[in-house]
Structure 1
Amino acid sequence: MDITVEQPVRARLITSESQELPVSATLQYTSGDPFAVHIGFPPDVSLSGTDVTWTFSRELLQAGLDAPAGQGDVHIWPCGRVHTVLEFHAPEGLALIQFDTDALRRFLKRTFAAVALGKENIDVAVDRGLAALVGGV
C-alpha cells in the first residue's frame, strides 16, 4: 500500500520586474514513486490556464536547501536564511518561485518518515516506471 504525503504551501512567484506575487502550491510525495517529489500549481499560476505539476528528485530538493543544486529543467538554491528558490525551465519560459525553507524542510522530514532516505525500494520504482513507459503494450 502506497503512503502519500501532501502539504499545501504558500510561495512567491518572482516576476521579471522583481515583484513577488503570492501563489499556492501543493507538495506531494508517494512511496510508490520513492525517489521523486511533486509540486503542483493551480491553473491561475500557469500560462496555459491548467494545473501544472513539476516532478524532480527528492534528493535534489534536499541538496538545494543547503547549496545550489540542479541541472536541466529544475534548479534549487538557498536564498538567505529563510527562503529557498526553485527555478523551473520550460519551453514557454522560466519561473522563479520562492518558498519558506522551513516549509520545505517539514515536507522532507515527513517524506523521510514515510520512506527513509536510502531505504527506497528501487524494484518497485523500476517496475512502475517501466509500466508507465510501455503503457499497456
Structure 2
Amino acid sequence: MNNRTVQLSTTLRQVDRTGGVSEMSVEFGYDASDPFAIHAVFRSGTGTVHWEFSRDLLAAGLIGPSGEGDVRLRPCHDDEPHVLILLSPPSRTAEFSAPLGALADFLDRTSELVPVGDESRWIDFDTEIARLMEIID
C-alpha cells in the first residue's frame, strides 16, 4: 500500500442457490488515480474474478439498498451487522455477505485520501483524453 491507495483484505461468506455457505477471500482496493471506483478481486479455488463499482454505490449500500444493475448492496443488521452484495453477471447471480464495520472503515479511509466531492481534482484529464484519442484512432 502507498499513500495513494487503500486496501481491505477480508473474507466474505457466499450463499449458493441451495442455501449453502462457503467463504471467499476478497481484496477491496481504492486508488486516488481512479477516485470514483472501488475495485474488488474475488479469489476462490476455481480462479479470480475482478469487479469494479462506484464508491458512491458502496457508501449508499452501507445505509440502505443501492444499485440497479450488475452490483446491488444492502445492509443487514441480523446477529452481526453485514452488507449483502449481489453480483449479477449475465450467466448467474452470486450473493455475498461482507462485514459492515470493515467496509465502513475502508470507505472512511478512502474519504481521508480523497474527500467525497473532490474526486475530479485527482483525475489527470490530459492523460484521460489521450487514452480516449488512442481508442478512437
Common fold: TM-score over 0.5: yes
| Aligned counterpart for 2:56 among listed residues 46, 54, 59 | 59
Answer yes or no: is the 8 Å Cα contact 2:32–2:122 preserved in 1.
no
The AA in structure 2 aligned to 1:39 is A
The AA in structure 1 aligned to 2:89 is A
Between the aligned partners of 1:37 and 1:134, the Cα distance in structure 2 is 25
Between the aligned partners of 1:2 and 1:135, the Cα distance in structure 2 is 29
Aligned to 1:118, the other structure's residue is in SS state coil
Following TM superposition, the consecutive aligned residue runs of length 4 or more in structure 1 with deviations greater than 4 angstroms are 125-136
Q: How does the TM-score come out when normalised to structure 1?
A: 0.85
**Count of matched residue pairs:** 133
- Root mean square deviation, CA, Å: 2.3
Q: How does the TM-score come out when normalised to structure 2?
A: 0.85
For residues 49-78 of structure 1, give each alpha carbon's deviation from its aligned partner in whole angstroms, at most 9, with x where no partner exists. Answer: 432111010000000111101011110001
* Residue 103 of structure 1: aligned partner: 102
* Residue 112 of structure 1: aligned partner: 111
The AA in structure 1 aligned to 2:24 is V
Answer yes or no: is the 8 Å Cα contact 1:35–1:58 preserved in 2.
yes
The structure number with the bigger radius of gyration is 2
Gaps of 5+ in 2: none
Gaps of 5+ in 1: none
For residues 32-61 of structure 1, give each alpha carbon's deviation from its aligned partner in whole angstroms, at most 9, with x where no partner exists. Answer: 1101101111252xxxx4321110100000
* Residue 120 of structure 2: aligned partner: 121
Between the aligned partners of 1:128 and 1:14, the Cα distance in structure 2 is 41
Between the aligned partners of 2:5 and 2:112, the Cα distance in structure 1 is 11
